[in-house]
């Protein structure tokens, strides 16, 4: 009898990606109808009950939103220091959605919000070089040598080298506006790279993540991502995953 592969069923609950689901299955914490299942190819039937760590899970309808994060909010659902979070700006019915990656408190721009754990994994896994584009303004006139240095790589932490592609949009003796393209997801990567070179970041905005951008969004606004856009995003991820392989 046909059914749904167990890892896909777990991923469809929003709990995690299929890859992580495989790890959970192999670790022996997944049960179907009271029986521990460690077989990766196991098929779940419509009336089966699936438990992960003794918690009953159900497939959920996936939701996808674009959100234009303003400055002054952190990208988390809860903050022990009592700082404002992006969820203060979102209706309660979207509080189950998770951001794909983060933007630090003073950075602005595009966040993808979803309960699709598998998509989150594909967009953030280091092995998949997903492009993210930022509009950045700094104090001072950036030199070509520093642009070349960012492309060649800067060690921003011990054992961690960050890379960036820079295109200058505006420049004079007092400031530089540029677009910075990243294929990594290191914490505060752009700020650390520019600080290493002696530049103060005035503003930093993510304007595109993979195939999605800020078009039609005002600061603090959120909108559902259209099915066609999700299809285009998945096709793009499939292409770059094959290329990286």
Name the residues annotated as catalytic.
104
Residue 155, beta-bridge partner list:
161
Enter the tokens of residue 160. Answer: 């961690």
Note whether 139 and 175 are within 8 A (CB). Answer: yes
Structural element, H or E, at residue 31: strand 30-32
- The interaxial angle of helices 117-124 and 227-244, nearest 10 deg, is 50
- In the three-class reduction of DSSP (H, G, I as helix; E, B as strand; rest coil), residue 55 is classed as strand
Q: What angle do CA 95, 121, 181 make, to 5 degrees?
A: 100
Q: What is the DSSP letter of 69?
A: E
Enter the tokens of residue 243. Answer: 């290329």
């Amino acid at each position: 009898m046909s059914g749904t592969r167990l890892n896909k069923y777990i991923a469809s609950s929003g709990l995690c990606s299929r890859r992580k689901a495989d790890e959970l299955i192999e670790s022996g914490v997944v049960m179907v109808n009271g029986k521990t299942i460690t077989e990766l190819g196991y098929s779940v039937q419509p009336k089966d009950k699936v438990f992960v760590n003794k918690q009953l899970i159900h497939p959920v309808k996936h939701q996808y939103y674009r959100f234009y994060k303003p400055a002054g909010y952190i990208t988390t659902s809860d903050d022990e220091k009592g700082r404002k979070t992006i969820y203060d700006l979102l209706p309660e019915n979207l509080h189950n959605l998770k951001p794909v990656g983060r933007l630090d408190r003073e950075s602005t721009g595009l966040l993808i919000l979803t309960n699709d754990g598998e998509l989150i994994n594909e967009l953030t896994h280091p092995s998949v070089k997903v492009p993210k584009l930022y509009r950045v303004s700094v104090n001072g006139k950036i030199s070509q040598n520093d642009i070349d240095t960012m492309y060649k790589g800067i060690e921003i932490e011990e054992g961690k080298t960050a890379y960036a592609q820079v295109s200058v949009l505006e420049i004079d003796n007092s400031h530089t506006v540029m677009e910075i393209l990243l294929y990594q997801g290191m914490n505060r990567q752009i700020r650390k790279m520019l600080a290493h070179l002696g530049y103060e970041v005035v503003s930093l905005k993510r304007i595109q993540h993979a195939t999605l951008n800020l078009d039609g969004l005002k600061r603090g606004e959120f909108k559902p991502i259209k099915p066609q856009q999700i299809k285009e995003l998945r096709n793009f991820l499939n292409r770059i995953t094959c290329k990286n392989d």
